[in-house]
């Protein structure tokens, strides 16, 4: 596709959902029915196009988001298939930052699950319009309307069903289009659904559901609501127009149904993507700031506008090297041309441009607004960086990622592996913003941190397989935090006489506790006349450095505000180093007086277990300091929801399988930090 492509004919969408809801299988069916593949890949057989990593195929889960492009009814559909496991939430975060629309896949049996809630919140944050595909309608226990209720109850969504299923569970065989009142049978052997008359026994129910659909759509449009209340006829194209506008505005979520495993319902879902999800033109101009003066600027989705794009993913490809995925918002990006990175203040040259089909590549010469492509040659661009025209620079909103919550020490088995490991870890850190590497100052060990046990397990396995580095890993460690319980003030005075010029710094800091999740803040209550600005900046740097290692157990201090209340300097002996040291001394003294507290990460947990194991599961959870919030029965299954300290979850998967003969499952998601018991601090110091 070239720069003159009709932007109305482009859809940038992502499939997002809880793990095991069927996103990858839906995507495989989309590629099959749009003619991009000749056979639907199977997760169990490890033959999917989108899960192309060996680890993904072996484990049957998506680890990294994969991009591809296909075509449906004269429209280009750029697709990103995202992971469902909470440990890989960064992949969802960066994908949603650059997508124009999303298809939320939910399980017709389980309804909305915990990770569905997380991705829904992420999509809301980035204002991504969504349609919903209720998958697995053929499974025992499937119920379309219960799944709809869970959308309202657990997500606060405004679902509008566009279809009514014909049959459920093993009898599921098709759907009635409520807009056109046409019925379709889904047949896996046919490329398109087979139209049939609406079954007589469903005629009355179809009219009831159609009336509800029209009412909900009319509520979003002033002209239609007047017609509806006046019992005036409303044309189908009026409903479609209002439905599209309301979906793009995020007011409603159209809902469709099917079974991806049996190739049912995919084509109507694709029609809904084209009809109701936005094009780059619907999204409109992107906002950013001019890095030269901080003023707000916009970039319209036009080929004639200056180039603006965001780098949302970095991949180390064994065949072509470093790939940087770009979402282009304006202008035309060309292979061989130089671009500017205002985030790093670097100018780089794009060597080659590629259109990605999962792990296959198609070389192109240029790409325009709305396109998602990969560039080779951008060696200093990282996730969240802006790429733009140097003469017309713009800085687009970056991508925020959660901090890691778990860490382990890794050691190379041989000296030969040492250098290879350092290089491999750096490349993995370039790819994954939620993966961190550091060297422990005391032990000299290399410590890697990530979002959970699975995340770190995958990293270690990738070191061995992709980079041929043999490593040993230690036990997981929790990423604790520190804070204070009350306000306190202290003076830090650094004085040293060395024969010539001495060192003098004098700082008084007041520390105040803040609400959880506030981070750390700094303010000065004195003027430059009392203390020159360069010494105030040095004091802030000293405070932030000291806060990074805390006073209780060496963990970062969070949720505090430091106020510089007083200070003094010497005309000759004062230096920035002296004020950094003085501020560090003041911080430590004030923190000790402020009743320091150790904070531990608390996870939101959901356990799904058969009835007969409920007592055992609850007893085990209680022994792990969990707080049960609710229990909900779904047939002979119990769903337990609550909170549990991360430190108590290690090896929980093995324990749960043992207690329930492998029939219970659970999910974890970081919720918040809370004060840890005294025993935790004792164990850390001991």
Domains of the chain: 7-283 (3.40.50.300), 286-396 (2.40.30.10), 406-472 (3.30.70.870), 482-594 (3.30.230.10), 599-685 (3.30.70.240)
Residue with tokens 């202290």: 490
Per-residue pLDDT at 86: 59
Q: What single DSSP character describes residue 525?
A: -
Q: How far apart are CA 307 and CA 309, in angstroms?
A: 7
Per-residue pLDDT at 54: 52
Per-residue pLDDT at 441: 64
504-548 pLDDT per residue, tens: 999 999 999 999 888 899 999 998 788 999 999 999 999 999 999
Per-residue pLDDT at 290: 92
Higher pLDDT, 278 or 670: 278
DSSP letter for each residue of 400-467 = --PPP-EEEEEEESSHHHHHHHHHHHHHHHHH-TT-EEEE-TTT--EEEEESSHHHHHHHHHHHHHTS
Q: How far apart are CA 493 and CA 509, in angstroms?
A: 11
Residue 504, beta-bridge partner list: 495, 574
CA-based nearest residue to 329, from 282, 284, 382: 284
- Residue 612 CB: number of other CB atoms within 10 A? 12
Q: How far apart are CA 460 and CA 440, in angstroms?
A: 18
162-185 pLDDT per residue, tens: 999 999 898 999 999 999 999 999
Please check the confidence at residue 570 and state whether its pLDDT lies above 70. yes
Percentage of the chain modeled with pLDDT above 90: 48
Per-residue pLDDT at 450: 84
pLDDT tier, 190 (very low <50, low <70, confident <90, very high otherwise): confident
CA distances from 147 to 256, 500, 574, 617 (A): 11, 77, 67, 26
Per-residue pLDDT at 562: 96
pLDDT tier, 51 (very low <50, low <70, confident <90, very high otherwise): very low
Q: What single DSSP character describes residue 284?
A: -
Per-residue pLDDT at 58: 53
Mean pLDDT estimate for the chain: 86
The predicted model gives 382-395 an average pLDDT of: 92
- Residue 204 CB: number of other CB atoms within 10 A? 8
The pair of structure tokens assigned to 512 is: 């105040």
91-116 burial code (b ≥16 CB/10 A, e <16): bbbbbbbbbbbbbbbbbbbbbbbbbb
Residue with tokens 């002209």: 223
The predicted model gives 613-642 an average pLDDT of: 90
Percentage of the chain modeled with pLDDT above 70: 92
Q: How far apart are CA 272 and CA 255, in angstroms?
A: 9
Considering 111-125, 291-305, 665-679, the range whose residues carry the highest mean pLDDT is 291-305
The pair of structure tokens assigned to 365 is: 């010469």
Please check the confidence at residue 1 and state whether its pLDDT lies above 50. no
Please check the confidence at residue 3 and state whether its pLDDT lies above 50. no
Q: How far apart are CA 466 and CA 238, in angstroms?
A: 54
Residue with tokens 């052997």: 189
371-408 burial code (b ≥16 CB/10 A, e <16): bbbbbbbbeebbbbbbbbbeebbbbbebbebeebbbbb
Listed in sequence order, the DSSP H helices in 466-521 are: none
The predicted model gives 495-501 an average pLDDT of: 73
Give kind and range of the element (H or E) at residue 200. Answer: none
Residues ≥6 apart with Cβ < 8 Å to 586: 490, 491, 492, 507, 508, 509, 543
DSSP letter for each residue of 129-154 = -EEEEEE-TTSTT--HHHHHHHHHHH
Per-residue pLDDT at 535: 93
350-372 pLDDT per residue, tens: 999 988 776 677 889 999 999 98
59-117 pLDDT per residue, tens: 454 455 667 888 999 999 988 877 655 566 777 788 888 889 999 999 999 888 877 87
């Amino acid at each position: 596709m070239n720069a003159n492509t009709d932007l109305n004919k482009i859809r940038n969408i992502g499939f997002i959902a809880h793990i095991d809801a069927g996103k990858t299988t839906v995507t495989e069916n989309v590629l099959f029915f749009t003619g991009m593949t000749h056979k639907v890949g199977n997760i169990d057989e490890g033959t999917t196009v989108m899960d192309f990593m060996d680890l993904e195929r072996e484990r049957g889960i998506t680890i990294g988001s994969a991009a591809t492009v296909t075509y449906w009814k004269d429209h280009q559909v750029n697709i990103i298939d995202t992971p469902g496991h909470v440990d890989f939430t960064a992949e969802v975060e960066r994908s949603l930052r650059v997508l124009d629309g999303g298809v939320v896949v939910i399980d017709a049996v389980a309804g909305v699950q915990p990770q569905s809630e997380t991705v829904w919140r992420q999509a809301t944050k980035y204002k991504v319009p969504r349609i919903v595909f209720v998958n697995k309608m053929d499974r025992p226990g499937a119920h379309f309307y219960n799944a709809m209720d869970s959308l309202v109850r657990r997500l606060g969504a405004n679902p509008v069903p566009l279809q009514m299923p014909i049959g459920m569970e093993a009898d599921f065989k098709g759907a009635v289009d409520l807009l056109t009142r046409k019925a379709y049978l889904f047949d896996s052997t046919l490329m398109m659904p087979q139209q049939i008359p609406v079954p007589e026994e469903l005629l009355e129910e179809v009219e009831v559901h159609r009336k509800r659909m029209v009412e909900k759509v009319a509520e979003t449009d002033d002209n239609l609501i007047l017609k509806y209340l006046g019992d005036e006829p409303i044309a189908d194209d009026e409903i479609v127009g209002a439905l599209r506008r309301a979906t793009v505005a995020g007011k409603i979520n159209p809902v469709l149904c099917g079974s991806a495993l049996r190739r049912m319902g995919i084509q109507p879902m694709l029609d809904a993507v084209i009809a109701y999800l936005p094009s780059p033109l619907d999204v409109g101009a992107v906002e950013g700031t001019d890095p030269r003066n901080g003023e707000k600027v916009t970039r319209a989705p036009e080929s004639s506008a200056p180039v603006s794009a965001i780098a949302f993913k970095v991949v180390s490809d064994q065949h072509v090297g470093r790939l940087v995925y770009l979402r282009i918002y304006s202008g035309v990006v060309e292979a061989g041309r130089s671009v500017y990175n205002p985030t790093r203040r670097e100018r780089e040259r794009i060597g080659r441009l590629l259109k990605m089909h999962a792990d296959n590549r198609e070389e192109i010469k240029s790409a325009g607004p709305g396109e998602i492509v990969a560039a080779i040659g951008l060696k200093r661009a990282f996730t969240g960086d802006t790429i733009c025209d140097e003469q017309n620079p713009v800085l687009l909103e970056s991508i925020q990622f959660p901090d890691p919550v778990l860490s382990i020490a890794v050691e190379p088995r041989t000296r030969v592996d040492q250098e290879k490991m350092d290089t491999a870890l750096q490349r993995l850190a370039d790819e994954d913003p939620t993966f961190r590497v550091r060297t422990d100052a005391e032990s000299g060990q290399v410590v890697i941190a990530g979002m959970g046990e699975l995340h770190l397990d995958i990293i270690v396995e990738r070191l061995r397989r992709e980079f041929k580095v043999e490593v040993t890993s230690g036990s997981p460690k929790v990423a604790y935090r520190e804070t204070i319980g009350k306000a306190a003030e202290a003076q830090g005075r650094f004085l040293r006489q060395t024969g010539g010029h001495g060192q003098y710094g004098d700082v008084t800091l007041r520390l105040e506790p803040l609400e959880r999740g506030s981070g750390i803040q700094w303010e000065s209550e004195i003027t430059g006349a009392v203390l020159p600005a360069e010494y105030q900046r040095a004091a802030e740097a000293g405070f932030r450095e000291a806060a990074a290692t805390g006073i209780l157990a060496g963990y970062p201090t969070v949720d505090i505000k430091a106020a510089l209340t007083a200070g003094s300097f010497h005309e000759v002996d004062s230096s920035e180093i002296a004020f950094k040291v003085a501020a560090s001394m003041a911080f430590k003294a004030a923190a000790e007086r402020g009743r320091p507290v150790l904070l531990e990460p608390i996870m939101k947990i959901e356990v799904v277990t058969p009835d007969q194991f409920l007592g055992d599961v609850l007893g085990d959870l209680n022994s792990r300091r969990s707080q049960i919030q609710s229990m909900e029965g779904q047939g002979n299954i119990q769903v337990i929801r609550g909170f549990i300290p991360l430190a108590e979850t290690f090896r929980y998967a093995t324990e749960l399988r043992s207690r329930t003969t492998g029939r219970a499952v659970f999910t974890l998601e970081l919720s918040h930090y809370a004060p840890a018991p005294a025993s935790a601090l004792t164990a850390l110091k001991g």
